[in-house]
């Protein structure tokens, strides 16, 4: 299809300014090939006229350019004929999600505000993606939805309505974008020698949104991320965090195969109903059964239980003892997350002394219980602080939050 025809099809005119149509939303003129699955790529090539018998090989070649070499233009794909490169450029782009803003924390954490194509309301959508460098790894925290349908009472994202699901391309696109930004593509000169150390070595799906309520896109996007001939981040280094969408946990085990993290946060249904309202639908007992049955669990492959430390709410030593009783028999580790405040939040973070005592009980029961060091608090990049998209904080709210983060 020509660009002109495409534009005619996708421009939506909903009003007039000085007799000129007001274009509230113009979809990309040409679709991007970045982040789509192999079958979707083969189908796209078919639409561009690539004969069926060639498609497999072309997919393999393009895949290598996109995900090993980080190609940003078809011109770079020198193993394809000039004619094919021109044809591809006529039909597609290699556009990544657009970075609207970048912030770098004093601790090296980077947060990217990513702008995604908008909807008919004319507003573009934004999600956040956070890179956390550590001594032995570099973790990229990616988003699955703009906003969230769930309303966990301690989570900033939960105060924002669900605006839309991300596509598979936008999910894998966050990894591509991080590799671009960090110059983290394969260095041809070094290739073939020692295995390269990549800056982005681990992925956590712990950004905005509930990944198991955007199942297919998350599955396909993570499939691209884990593909061994491409981005090649093994499934053991990809962790998917869910607030407890029980029916999709087994499905995630079968179809995605990433490491599982579960946002538990409470040991009784009464309290969890308040903190994670989804618990009313899928109570703790059902959630833990789904965890027990998660495929491939072993001491080397454990479920992570996330537990946000809320002062006077869920942080008593009796809670710690109940927690270890509750998860008995499940190969697990417990990730204690100091609560990150946000403007209007009604909770306080537990005192450090209390977090340590809590952690000791868990540790003594035989579970690794790392306390997640808050990273990037000065740029509002820590867990549960992410909120952007169509609803932005006012400058005053941001200042208040920054002050809070820096003083505790
Ligand atoms: N929706 C998914 C994944 C995104 S949230 C989930 O709920 O698991 C990633 C983690 O951050 C979850 O464990 C969540 O409970 C936690 N979190 C949310 N708000 C937080 C806050 N204000 N302080 C600390 N952790 C928070
Ligand atoms: Fe959504 Fe997770 Fe936040 Fe709950 S904690 S509101 S599920 S993003």
Rounded distance, CA 49 to CA 91, Å?
Answer: 10
Rounded distance, CA 66 to CA 73, Å?
Answer: 9
Residue 286: alpha-carbon gap to chain centroid: 25
Query: With contact defined as beta carbons under 8 Å apart, do 27 and 116 qualify?
Result: no
Pocket flag, ligand 1, residue 206 (CB < 6 Å)? yes
DSSP secondary structure string, 139-174?
A: EEE--SEES-S---TT-SGGGS---EEPPHHHHHHH
Rounded distance, CA 342 to CA 157, Å?
Answer: 10
State pLDDT tens for residues 162-202. 778 899 999 999 999 999 999 999 766 555 555 567 899 99
Give the confidence band of 375 by pLDDT, cuts at 50, 70, 90. confident
- The residues, any chain, with a CB within 8 Å of residue 256's CB and separated by 6 or more, are 218, 219, 222, 223, 235, 240
Q: What are the tokens at 61?
A: 């070649």
State pLDDT tens for residues 191-234. 555 556 789 999 999 999 999 999 999 999 999 999 999 999 99
Give the confidence band of 369 by pLDDT, cuts at 50, 70, 90. confident
Q: What are the tokens at 404?
A: 């809070």
In the DSSP assignment, the letter for residue 157 is G
Residue 219: alpha-carbon gap to chain centroid: 12
Judge whether 128 counts as a catalytic residue.
yes
Pocket flag, ligand 1, residue 243 (CB < 6 Å)? yes
pLDDT at 164: 83
Mutate to test the pocket of ligand 1, among 238, 240, 337 (most ligand atoms within 8 A of CB): 337
Nearest ligand by distance to the CA of 377:
1
For the chain, the helix, strand and coil percentages under 3-state DSSP, each to the nearest 5 = 35, 20, 45
Query: With contact defined as beta carbons under 8 Å apart, do 369 and 340 qualify?
Result: no
pLDDT at 17: 32
Rounded distance, CA 397 to CA 195, Å?
Answer: 45
DSSP secondary structure string, 95-109?
A: PPPEEEEEEE-TTS-
Give strand ranges (E) for 96-254. Answer: 98-104, 110-116, 125-133, 138-141, 145-146, 164-165, 202-205, 238-242
State pLDDT tens for residues 25-77. 344 678 999 999 999 999 999 999 999 999 999 999 999 999 999 999 999 99
Residue whose CA is closest, atom 12 of ligand 1?
263
Taking the centre of ligand 2 as the mean of its atom positions, its distance from the CA of residue 19, in whole angstroms, is 44
Residue 223: closest CA among 359, 41, 392, 17: 41
Taking the centre of ligand 1 as the mean of its atom positions, its distance from the CA of residue 299, in whole angstroms, is 24
Rounded distance, CA 303 to CA 249, Å?
Answer: 12
Query: With contact defined as beta carbons under 8 Å apart, do 217 and 151 qualify?
Result: no
Element spanning 12, H or E = strand 11-17
* Widest pairwise Cα distance in the chain: 73
Element spanning 260, H or E = strand 259-263
Location of structure tokens 């803003």: 101
Rounded distance, CA 211 to CA 218, Å?
Answer: 6
Instruction: Please determine, for residue 395, whether its predicted confidence score (pLDDT) is greater than 90.
Output: no
Taking the centre of ligand 2 as the mean of its atom positions, its distance from the CA of residue 158, in whole angstroms, is 5
pTM here is: 0.86
Q: What is the mean pLDDT of residues 1-20?
A: 32
Output Rg (C-alpha) for the chain, integer angstroms.
23
Pocket flag, ligand 1, residue 401 (CB < 6 Å)? no
Residue 92: alpha-carbon gap to chain centroid: 25
Q: Identify the burial level of 94 via C-beta atoms within 10 angstroms of its C-beta, where 0-12 means exposed, 13-18 middle and 19 or more buried.
A: buried
Judge whether 383 counts as a catalytic residue.
yes
Pocket flag, ligand 1, residue 307 (CB < 6 Å)? no
Instruction: Please determine, for residue 331, whether its predicted confidence score (pLDDT) is greater than 50.
Output: yes
| Percent residues over pLDDT 70 in the chain | 81
Rounded distance, CA 289 to CA 327, Å?
Answer: 10
Q: What are the tokens at 94?
A: 């290699």
CB within 6 Å of ligand 2 — which residues? 148, 150-152, 155, 157-158, 209-210, 243, 263
State pLDDT tens for residues 70-112. 999 999 999 999 999 999 999 999 999 999 999 998 888 999 9
Rounded distance, CA 327 to CA 323, Å?
Answer: 6
Catalytic residue among 126, 128, 210, 306: 128
Taking the centre of ligand 2 as the mean of its atom positions, its distance from the CA of residue 253, in whole angstroms, is 20
State pLDDT tens for residues 115-146. 887 654 556 688 999 999 998 999 999 999 98
Rounded distance, CA 1 to CA 8, Å?
Answer: 11
Taking the centre of ligand 1 as the mean of its atom positions, its distance from the CA of residue 309, in whole angstroms, is 11
Residue 153: closest CA among 344, 351, 408, 355: 344
């Amino acid at each position: 299809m020509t660009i002109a025809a495409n534009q005619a099809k996708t421009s939506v005119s909903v009003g007039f300014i000085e007799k000129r149509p007001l274009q509230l939303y113009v979809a990309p003129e040409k679709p991007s090939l970045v982040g789509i699955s192999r079958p979707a790529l083969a189908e796209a090539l078919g639409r561009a006229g690539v004969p069926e018998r060639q498609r497999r090989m072309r997919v393999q070649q393009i895949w290598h350019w996109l995900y090993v070499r980080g190609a940003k233009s078809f011109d770079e794909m020198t193993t394809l004929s000039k004619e094919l490169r021109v044809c591809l450029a006529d039909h597609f782009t290699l556009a990544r999600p657009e970075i609207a803003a970048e912030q770098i924390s004093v601790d090296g954490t980077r947060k990217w505000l990513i702008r995604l194509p908008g909807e008919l309301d004319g507003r573009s959508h934004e999600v956040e993606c956070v890179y956390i460098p550590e001594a032995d790894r570099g973790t990229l925290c990616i988003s699955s939805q703009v906003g969230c349908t769930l309303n966990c009472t301690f989570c900033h994202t939960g105060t924002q309505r669900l605006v839309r699901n991300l596509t598979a391309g936008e999910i894998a696109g966050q990894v591509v974008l991080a590799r671009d930004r960090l110059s983290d593509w394969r260095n041809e000169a070094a290739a073939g020698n020692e295995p390269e150390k990549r800056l982005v070595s681990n992925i956590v799906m712990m950004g905005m949104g509930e990944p198991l309520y955007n199942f297919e896109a998350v599955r396909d996007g993570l499939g691209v991320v884990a593909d061994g001939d491409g981005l090649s981040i093994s499934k053991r280094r990809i962790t998917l965090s869910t607030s407890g969408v029980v029916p999709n946990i087994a499905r995630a085990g079968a179809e995605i195969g990433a490491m599982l993290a579960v946002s538990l946060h409470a040991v009784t249904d009464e309290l969890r109903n308040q903190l994670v309202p989804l618990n009313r639908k899928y109570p703790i007992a059902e959630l833990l059964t789904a965890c027990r049955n998660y495929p491939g669990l072993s001491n080397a492959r454990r479920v992570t239980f996330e537990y946000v430390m809320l002062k006077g709410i869920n942080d008593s030593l009796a809670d710690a003892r109940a927690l270890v009783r509750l998860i008995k028999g499940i190969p697990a580790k417990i990730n204690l997350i100091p609560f990150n405040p946000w403007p209007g939040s009604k909770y306080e973070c537990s005192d450090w002394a209390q977090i340590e005592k809590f952690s000791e009980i868990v540790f003594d029961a035989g579970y690794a219980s790392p306390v997640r060091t808050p990273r990037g608090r000065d740029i509002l990049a820590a867990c549960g602080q992410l909120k952007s998209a169509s609803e932005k904080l006012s400058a005053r709210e941001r200042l208040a939050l920054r002050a809070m983060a820096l003083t505790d």
